[in-house]
Structure 1
Amino acid sequence: METVYLNDKFVAADQAQVSVFDRGFLFGDSVYEVIPFYQGQGFRLDEHLARLEHSLRGIQISIARDWKAILTELVAKNGGGNLSVYLQISRGSSGQRSHAYDEQMQPTVFACCNPIRDIYDEGPDSIAGISAIVTADLRWHRCDIKATGLLPNILVMQQARQAGATEALMIRDGLLTEGASCNLFMVDKGVIYTPKRSSEILGGTTRELILELAAVNGIPTQEVDIDYDHLMNADEVWISSSTRAVVPVIKIDDQLIADGKKGPLWARMFELFTRYQRDLMQGGV
């Protein structure tokens, strides 16, 4: 039976209970993180926890825990290895439904684990290029806060599936923002482009790592506004996320990107990314 963490206790998943008046359940008044652990080691853990603190400050929840110790112990209790940890913190429950909240309310903290692939041991040939659609970005304007109110993301992902695609890339005021569950990159003439950081996108930890790896290895990058025509005429398009790493997009809106094959710069970034992952697992990062 899976072990989960709930309000300072490790319990069996089927024993975990949360109040029906919890504001995370009633209002989506909560934030979350998804953190990969490889061989029991948190991947970019400090960066994930820094983003968690940003989200908590953004919705004015005050809570202090030794998150690293808690999550590491949770992973160990679930057998270690390669797991992603989902951590959610809601404002808590006042015992009734009310839009107003008491600042002294005790937050609800929940965490659980799911298995993830160990991509570095599989190699680039095992990574399939995906198809995507471009659709309107229906989300609120504080996407830098990793909040649990994901209904717009769910709707556009379902739209993508109904179109036979894997991912939905969102556009607002004529500019691409990000995917429903990922950040966006494109390559044009050897330069990696990604949308500018703003409150309209989530500052992905894998996004930041890709930019760091590119800088260290002399690959030019630019954070710019990207419109639809620029995207569709790119030499390569990628998405990135903590649990999927960096994935090539070979078709958008039923149009092949370049020749519809995984690009050489993606292959180079995959190599750099998985080498970084391997070093982390072997204690070298």
Structure 2
Amino acid sequence: MSRTVYVNGDYLPEEEAKISVFDRGFLFADAVYEVTSVLGGKLIDFDGHAKRLERSLGELGMPMPMSRDALLQIHRRLAQENDLEDGLIYLQVTRGAADRDFAYPAPDTPQSVVLFTQSKPGLADAPQSRTGIKVVTVPDERWGRRDIKTVQLLYPSMGKMAAKARGADDAWMVEDGAVTEGTSNNAYIVRDGVIVTRHLGTEILHGITRAAVLRFAREAQMRVEERAFTVEEALSADEAFVTSASAFVMPVVEIDGQRIGTGAPGRVATRLREIYLEESRKVAV
């Protein structure tokens, strides 16, 4: 059975969904996106994703296409129509369709809004959360505004494939000797009980899961440092992990072929995953 997707006001079977070949998301990656997790049929941290969507659009001079409440209702309807218990809902907003030109089209050009679901049964119980993942490092060669969640994802995709070619699960990107982030997640190390993750700026995405995890860590009296860390620091760390909307808190047990800590998921990452899932489920909508 095909999925029901949302395209510009219509709920359609996926095989009937269409976007113009002149859409600027297709031609220029002139678009932003969000991915919201669903656990037990409820949305995790929806408000955070909606706020970041609004910020990303604003940085590109685009308005919100509709109110947050309207977006919430679309998310809920798609989850219901697709019987989505555990999984993800993808949202993309583009500047719309116009004749191909590097200059932006007229401000009144209708935006394109697309949403679809991805079913992932047992999302919160991923086996890798118990074994950890392996990462490799690659140069960070993306554009400079990584704080805007655009659909310009070719280089992260290349990084992911480079990791797979080297027998790893993901890549951490490195700029001027310091780790920025993973291909689709924020990166952390733990040294002497202190959680270290890169400070916010234009170099990394301002992760919604990152914000929640750091808040929970501080509430649990864990020490946190928001600063750049080097690959050398990561290799000598006691443990490492990543966070994202789809992976939650995921331990990292190997970097560039070198075992991190004991080579097994660490105590801090394991506890933060438990706290994040427990607290996020309490306030899911």
Normalising by structure 2, report the TM-score: 0.94
2:120 maps to which residue?
116
* Structure 1 position 280, deviation (Å): 3.6
* Structure 1 position 173, deviation (Å): 1.4
C-alpha separation in 2, matches of 1:119 and 1:82: 6
Asked if 1:221 is matched to 2:258, the reply is no
1:10 maps to which residue?
11
Q: What does 1:1-285 align with in structure 2 at a 5 Å threshold? A: 1-65=2-66, 66-94=70-98, 96-100=99-103, 101-120=105-124, 122=125, 127-280=130-283
Equivalent residue letter for 1:176: V
Q: Deviations over 1:172-231 (max 9, x none)?
A: 112111000110011000111100001110011111111011111111111011011111
C-alpha separation in 1, matches of 2:210 and 2:161: 24
Aligned partners of 1:75 and 1:83 also within 8 Å: no
Structure 1 runs, 4 residues or longer, greater than 2 Å off: 116-120, 122-128, 277-281
* Structure 1 position 124, deviation (Å): 8.2
Aligned-pair identity in percent equals 33
C-alpha separation in 2, matches of 1:257 and 1:225: 18
C-alpha separation in 2, matches of 1:27 and 1:119: 32
* Structure 1 position 49, deviation (Å): 0.4
Aligned partners of 2:87 and 2:123 also within 8 Å: no
Give SS of 1:266's match.
helix
Aligned partners of 1:116 and 1:243 also within 8 Å: no
Aligned partners of 2:39 and 2:123 also within 8 Å: no
Gap change, CA 1:238 and 1:125, over 3 Å in 2 = closer
With 202-211 and 264-273 compared, the bigger mean Cα shift is at 264-273
Alpha-carbon RMSD across the aligned residues, in angstroms, is: 1.6
Normalising by structure 1, report the TM-score: 0.94
Equivalent residue letter for 2:26: F
C-alpha separation in 2, matches of 1:197 and 1:162: 30
Equivalent residue letter for 1:114: Q
Equivalent residue letter for 2:230: D
Aligned partners of 1:124 and 1:267 also within 8 Å: no
C-alpha separation in 2, matches of 1:103 and 1:125: 46
Equivalent residue letter for 1:85: I
Give SS of 2:254's match.
strand
Specify every segment of 5 or more residues in structure 1 that has no aligned partner in the other structure, as ranges. Answer: none
C-alpha separation in 1, matches of 2:127 and 2:21: 45
